[in-house]
Structure 1
Amino acid sequence: MILEFKITLRDVGVPVWRVIKIDSEETFSTLHKVIQAAFGWTNSHLHQFFVEKSDGRDVNYVQIAQQIPDGVMDFQSESEMLIEDDIKLSDWFKKVNDTTIYIYDFGDDWSHEIVLTGKPAPVKGQPLPYCTAAKNNAPEEDSRGEVMMGEVNLKNDNPKRLIQDINDALLDTESYLENLEGMNFVDDPGVVYDPWEEVLLAAKEFHKLKPWEFMEDDQIFAIADPVLDEYYFCSVLGKAGEVFGLAIYPNREGYAILKEIQRGRVPDFDFLLKQRSILLSFEDRTDLAKEDYEFIKSYDVTFRGKKAWPVFTSYKPGYVPWIPDEYEADVLLEVVEEAIGLCKEFKNGKTLPDFFAENKVLARIPGVEDEVISLDNYQREDKVFQLEVSELDLRRAKKLMDNFIPATIEFVVTQIDMPLQENIGDRPAFPYLAIAVDYNQGMVFFQDVLPGGSDNGLLQNQLLKMLQLTEGIPEKLLVDEKTFEIMEPLIKELGLNVEIPNELPHVAEIVNDIGMLYQ
């Protein structure tokens, strides 16, 4: 049986985690080695496991160690101490959400939360242990002080490459631990990685094939990513003679967008706020923006002809359409190269299932035989919002609960079509507007603007700020569905009387006026 864990390094300032598949018959000793490899540790310090939940029940005083220290085997000790070489993962990880804490280096106290997230079926050709997802770099050894001072940058903008590095290390954890000293997953600063020349060459070959002459835009196929264990859904554009190219819709977010397109959704601002796709399109030379032309000319790849010059556009929820980043360039290269081969086969008679009618797709898995997969259970996971305000702010709000305000208030936190760029060169984002209006008087008494990409804690705090301003709890709060989703944990905590009407007339008018002013 395969176990899938999400292993999260706690208290380092940014999310740092890995999703790892491992055989259930492996021992905790092997899991220790896997964590060392996956997070780039050097096995230079002591470690220990602390079981918190097993078989769906809370567990107390169970420790799993490399060896039992002298003096621990005391009959009066409350803790059960086990040896990691003797304990299989299946002994303690039985149900989803079973949890164990792994502590490495009792000086720096690097705490890793290990949560069982599933028991997936084996994947042909996929070794174990195997990393399917990862976020950000782990800190270096003996750097707790620098991390606490905020002096360490752990951001990693190329998760695909990070995952590949982790899997390279996981191929032989024993060898990795023996040779790890002085190594980490951060790229050599002296090496500049640039995939764009290869991307341009692939785009040129794709244009030469002209697949829009024999393919419709509703003939969807997928390119599988065996590293991320996900799919890129592809649509060839150009049969209608308007936009020529390839639209790439990544993963579950892209699948959801395709389904909205199927239902005839007319693209609007709200659609833009949640669209996730990467577009390769071909334009006339005279229609290229100056920066696009200069970008192409900076590489030794030539283009000429009508609708032959490539333009690359990234669509990311909440952000302005922008130039793809390095990670997206890697995606473009992989997908376009595989799409060329599949389109050639389609031209020679290969058939595709009806994506929209059958909810199936032909998936090309690099190095493996193509397969038709059902998408009946391939849905975008609904985002679950948690309560993310501080205890202090929450206590302050609860002090207002005895002060009843006889008023109905429209309250919304929404992104507005007024893109802002925090720093030169940054991708502009659509900011959030938090606004509260007295429903009966139509008077705005609270408003604030937050940067695009603000976390849920900042957004939830806008409701607390509004309540502090009113110095009490309103009789009724009118919100839209998006605001309710974000604020629901806080609404329940405070016991607010909330309704979601069909429209919020005062807020709608104000947001519309802001949009007109910007235009």
Structure 2
Amino acid sequence: MGQEVLQLRVVLRSISPLIWRRLLVRSDTSIARLHQILQVAFGWQDMHLHRFEIRGRPYGIHQDGGAFFDTNAHEALIGQLMLRRLERFTYEYDFGDGWLHDLRIEVTSLIDPKRVYPVCIAGRRAAPPEDCGGPHAFMANRSRFALMGESLSRAHLDLDGLADEVDDEDCDILSHYHPERFDRRAINRRLAALAPPSKERAADEGHRSDPY
């Protein structure tokens, strides 16, 4: 089977208005690499455990304190899982907060040799701040997080008044949080910098550099 491009729509569950991304990934993208792509696309910090669930089977990268997975996530390729168009699978990040992402393949197309993958082509809104308590806590405190983020980024926040509830790490995270911000160019710069490249991309680059 030749390599193709999968157009994925990824929606963060239990949040309104929707927080979502539309991504183009190669069919030879591993589950491990898809984890990295989603971390970048949503601006997560990869500080917590994660897992995919695809047709009832868990996939992920083992980390200390986490579950073991029967399948090597570096070898399982998304294009080999034979997912049907619009068939849903899930990605969960941070088992404490429980951020569930619903993924669906919208379109399958041919690879554009002039384009670098993965790439984000659309989306709306920033993902919630790390460790904010999960979807329900985030929805209950969304306006407060937004105000704190704006105040921190402008250095107008009275830190003494919030010393008991905002530590230095929270300040750093919240200072970059703006709920309506979606910077596709910044996301794509980070996606382009992901390493290592796929074997196929490395081979393509090698062929292009071959004078013969």
State the alpha-carbon separation in 2 of the partners of residues 93 and 143 from structure 1: 36
2:44 aligned with 1:35? no
Instruction: Spell out, residue by residue over 1:421-459, the C-alpha distance to the aligned partner (whole angstroms, 9 max, x if none).
Output: xxxxxxxxxxxxxxxxxxxxxxxxxxxxxxxxxxxxxxx
Find the counterpart in structure 2 of residue 293 from structure 1.
Answer: none
2:116 aligned with 1:127? yes
State the alpha-carbon separation in 2 of the partners of residues 42 and 30 from structure 1: 15
- Higher Cα radius of gyration: 1
Taking a change above 3 Å as real, the CA distance of residues 93 and 38 of structure 1, as seen in their structure-2 partners, is farther
State the alpha-carbon separation in 1 of the partners of residues 33 and 66 from structure 2: 26
State the alpha-carbon separation in 2 of the partners of residues 70 and 16 from structure 1: 29
Taking a change above 3 Å as real, the CA distance of residues 46 and 131 of structure 1, as seen in their structure-2 partners, is same
Taking a change above 3 Å as real, the CA distance of residues 44 and 68 of structure 1, as seen in their structure-2 partners, is closer
Query: Per-residue deviation at 1:110?
Result: 0.8
The 5 A counterparts of 1:5-20 are: 5-20=8-23
Q: Structure 1 length as normaliser, TM-score?
A: 0.28
| Aligned partner of 1:3 among 6, 15, 20 | 6
Q: Structure 2 length as normaliser, TM-score?
A: 0.66
Taking a change above 3 Å as real, the CA distance of residues 128 and 149 of structure 1, as seen in their structure-2 partners, is same
Find the counterpart in structure 1 of residue 60 from structure 2.
Answer: 65
Taking a change above 3 Å as real, the CA distance of residues 68 and 143 of structure 1, as seen in their structure-2 partners, is closer
| Aligned partner of 1:117 among 106, 115, 126 | 106
Q: Could you tell me whether the CA contact under 8 Å between 2:26 and 2:111 is conserved in 1?
A: no
SS in 2 for 1:149: helix
State the alpha-carbon separation in 2 of the partners of residues 71 and 143 from structure 1: 21
State the alpha-carbon separation in 2 of the partners of residues 69 and 98 from structure 1: 31
Find the counterpart in structure 1 of residue 126 from structure 2.
Answer: 137
Find the counterpart in structure 1 of residue 185 from structure 2.
Answer: 164
**Cα root mean square deviation, aligned:** 2.7
Which one-letter code corresponds to 1:67 in the other structure?
A: H
Q: Could you tell me whether the CA contact under 8 Å between 1:64 and 1:84 is conserved in 2?
A: yes
2:46 aligned with 1:46? no
SS in 2 for 1:15: coil
Q: Could you tell me whether the CA contact under 8 Å between 1:139 and 1:147 is conserved in 2?
A: yes
Taking a change above 3 Å as real, the CA distance of residues 69 and 81 of structure 1, as seen in their structure-2 partners, is farther
Equivalenced residue count is 158
State the alpha-carbon separation in 1 of the partners of residues 73 and 21 from structure 2: 21
Query: Per-residue deviation at 1:124?
Result: 5.3
Taking a change above 3 Å as real, the CA distance of residues 127 and 105 of structure 1, as seen in their structure-2 partners, is same
Report which structure shows greater RCO (CA 8 Å, sep ≥6): 2
SS in 2 for 1:6: strand
Q: Could you tell me whether the CA contact under 8 Å between 1:93 and 1:99 is conserved in 2?
A: no
Taking a change above 3 Å as real, the CA distance of residues 69 and 150 of structure 1, as seen in their structure-2 partners, is closer
Find the counterpart in structure 1 of residue 149 from structure 2.
Answer: none
Query: Per-residue deviation at 1:125?
Result: 2.9
